[in-house]
Amino acid sequence: MTTSTARKTPGNGPAVRFFGELAQRGHEPLLAGVSGRVRFDVMDKGASDSWLVRVDRGDLAVAHDAGPADCTIRGQRALFDELASGRTNAMAAVLRGALVCSGDIELLIAMQRVFPDPPRGWDPTATARGGR
């Protein structure tokens, strides 16, 4: 699969950098058994910025597009920035209602593999206690 990039640049936060880096991978071994289209709808101030990730047995194509998808994941930009920095887990965000997933949830479970691990030394309970 070929990789395409955004039709516009919606900024340079962690989520935007994540999708750009994902587009550069071309093939992701962690998704070798996965095929489907996942659309990430990033909400910001009432507007939606969509990224379509097509996976064909690990081959990736990323487009800054709101095309049809087998799985759609919708959430606020700040949350996607947290996902892209490893500070939030996608499944945990779905379970608490911060991310909305429709369609094939198995694709969300598979995509969770490509999000980064938490930063070294990061304490997820610090945010809940008012730290970091």
* pLDDT of amino acid 131: 44
In angstroms, rounded to a whole number, what is the distance separating the alpha carbons of residues 80 and 129?
A: 21
pTM equals 0.81
Q: How far apart are CA 33 and CA 26, in angstroms?
A: 15
- Residues contacting residue 120 through CB under 8 Å, at least 6 positions apart: none
pLDDT, position 46? 86
pLDDT at 84: 93
The low-confidence residues of the chain, meaning pLDDT below 70, are 1-11, 122-132
CATH 3.30.1050.10 matches 14-115: yes
Q: Where are the domains of the chain?
A: 14-115
Q: How many CB atoms lie within 10 A of CB 117?
A: 7
